[in-house]
Structure 1
Amino acid sequence: MAAKVIVPKTEATLTDRDMDRIIEMAWEDRTPFDAIEYQFGLTEERVKALMKRELKFSSYRLWRNRVARCKTKHAKKRNASIDRFKCNRQRAISGNTIAKRR
């Protein structure tokens, strides 16, 4: 079976559900920007621009301060023992297929 190739989406092709999920992932402390890029093709800079555009300015400022202090948002700053994008209690995430809790 051939490996699945993930094609980066442009911001114009993101659905409202995609935007909500990106914002949710950006707010999560343990979800690195690499996971967002893997699933949606958005670099850290594009995620920051999206957050600035979509959030109220005060919420954006709170988020930026939180990200700046958070060592788990950047894969290079993470503890070497953390080798996954997701919580071990979360079901598998593959490409853009997102498992929701029920």
Structure 2
Amino acid sequence: MPPTNSSFHLKELFCYYLGIGFIIIGFVVLTSMKKGMESKVAFLTANRENEENSLKATSVIWWIWGSTAWGIASMFLVVCIIILDEPQKAIPSTSGENDFPS
């Protein structure tokens, strides 16, 4: 759930939903393409000397690179969401008062 802190600005809320949307949409796209990539890999392993293999191998390689990039970007967005969710813990108070409960 998005934070309900009153100091949470519209920009941070937009980043929160953008990150969650990126992760969910990317996961759906990757899982929907998984079967097609598995069949291409099976075709490539069965027909190693075929001329058509170059195009299929290139698409599989690009799918692997895309999946890796999506995973790295998703991890970065999760870390950013966690940091945005806890701004009070990341920035110490400058008021000079004790922030800890008595």
Q: TM-score, normalised by structure 1?
A: 0.26
Higher helix share: 2
Larger of the two Rg values belongs to structure: 2
User: Relative contact order, CA 8 A, sep 6+: which one is greater?
Assistant: 2
Q: TM-score, normalised by structure 2?
A: 0.26
